[in-house]
Amino acid sequence: MSAVDRAQELAQNLAAVRRRVADAESAAGRADGSVQLVVVTKTFPAQDVRLLAGCGATDVGESREPEAGQKARACADLGLRWHQVGQVQTKKAAAVAAWADVVHSVDRERLVAALERGHRRALDEGERPHGHVLDVLVQVDLADDDERDPGRGGAAPRDVDELAAAVAAAEGLRLAGVMAVAPAGVDPRGPFERLAQVAAAVRAAHPGATAVSAGMSGDLEAAVAAGATHVRVGRAVLGARPAIV
């Protein structure tokens, strides 16, 4: 596909997803523009990120190191907001802290400490400007206890308060809210309503933690109806992901 054709494809897809988000906001009685679209560009080239920025995209999501850091550095001139949306290995937390503006997937206290150390190092080494703060969302596992899959990540709802407090207390990190992925094979409306309840409890203790990251290509409408402030969409914008070898 030529660069011109790819640019047209991305522009059309992005516009279609924006219409879906706007329609979902309207259906839920929410204000236009109340939901931030994060375009998930993992496995796609930096050139696609540039084309999306040219279409007005402002927030992009990545999940794999070192691909994510390389891409963020290659596109540093675009002024984008970079979101780490996938699981983070503790040993790679420092690398993530050097490029991410938002980390959506914090689900254990060891990772909080590792991000805090990594962010401090990024400041000391000039990889981040003075005063930079890393926004952090606590990932919530919405599966039932007997169906919980550790590979998908997420803290049990009963552990969220303690984890949120750890993030709020960490130097250089800012507790922004919560994130979740709907369990596979179920109607997402129930899980997203549970996430809304968890989010409300977190906000009660930490009024600034207003972000609710939920919803992807297949279920963003249900997420917006339940109060999501951020939706993470990849396939519906960029198409099927390239095979990973």
Instruction: Provide the pLDDT confidence category of residue 144 given band limits of 50, 70 and 90.
Output: confident
DSSP 61-102: EE--TTHHHHHHHHTGGG-PEEEE-S---GGGHHHHHTT-SE
CA of 195: how far to CAs of 120, 185, 216, in Å? 31, 17, 15
Average predicted confidence (pLDDT) for the chain: 95
**Angstrom distances, CA of residue 81 to CA of 119, 151, 200, 205, 245:** 16, 27, 25, 27, 28
Question: Which tens digit of pLDDT belongs to each residue from 222-244?
Answer: 999 999 999 999 999 999 887 65
Q: How confident is the model at residue 153 (pLDDT cuts 50, 70, 90)?
A: confident
More confident residue, 152 or 9: 9
Label residue 236 exposed, middle or buried (CB < 10 Å: 0-12, 13-18, 19+). Answer: middle
- Residue 149 pLDDT: 63
Indicate the residue type of 90: T
CATH architecture of 3-238: Alpha-Beta Barrel (3.20)
pTM above 0.85, yes or no: yes
> What is the predicted pLDDT for the residue at 245?
46
**What's the average model confidence in pLDDT over 96-123?**
97
Residue 147 is predicted with a pLDDT of: 64
Phi, psi angles (nearest 5°) of residue 104: -90, -10
Q: Residue 148: its pLDDT value, please?
A: 63
